[in-house]
Structure 1
Amino acid sequence: MSLEVDFKKAADDVRKLKSKPADDEMSEVYSLYKQSVVGDVNKADPGAADELAKNKWDAWNKKKIGMSKDDAMKAYIVKSKEMAAKYGVDS
């Protein structure tokens, strides 16, 4: 399979996890997804008023230095497989 096909399957599996992962795992997978699809963070820092948005932005912003879209996709696939093994995936 191609990288993009593997990535799309991994994204689908993450949406079907049987239980909710820890916040740090969700931040990591979110940041890898955004880096894969969008590239470097392209939004302003939302500030501390919205803690969830701030945490997601911070996680994504850490990926911008030196992580290509392809590298982010590969890392996302690995992380999604770890999460699927840990939490299970609904069919």
Structure 2
Amino acid sequence: MLVDPVYDQYRFWEAPKQFLLELLFGFSKKGEDDLLLIEDFLHSTADQHAVAFPVETAHLRWHAERALDQFRDTQQAGFPITVIRQILRELSA
């Protein structure tokens, strides 16, 4: 479904391909091990179908990079609660 153009006939928000990609992106944000599984799946699927679907498999490689970028975004830590508490105390004093 991810590479076969027959599934492109749907509006993108109804397409099975889009649902699968969003599911994969969600899994990839859970942790580094899950991210590596998703990246491996996308790259191996691209390799497996590269001859039959050359353009679509290039998109899979792009989606693997997107998953990595999204994972990095979720791993950016904000201020710890203790720091936020201290800032609020200082502001209210």
Specify if TM > 0.5.
Answer: no
Higher relative contact order (CA 8 A, sep 6+): 1
Structure with greater proportional helix content: 2
How does the TM-score come out when normalised to structure 2?
A: 0.31
Larger Rg: 1 or 2? 2
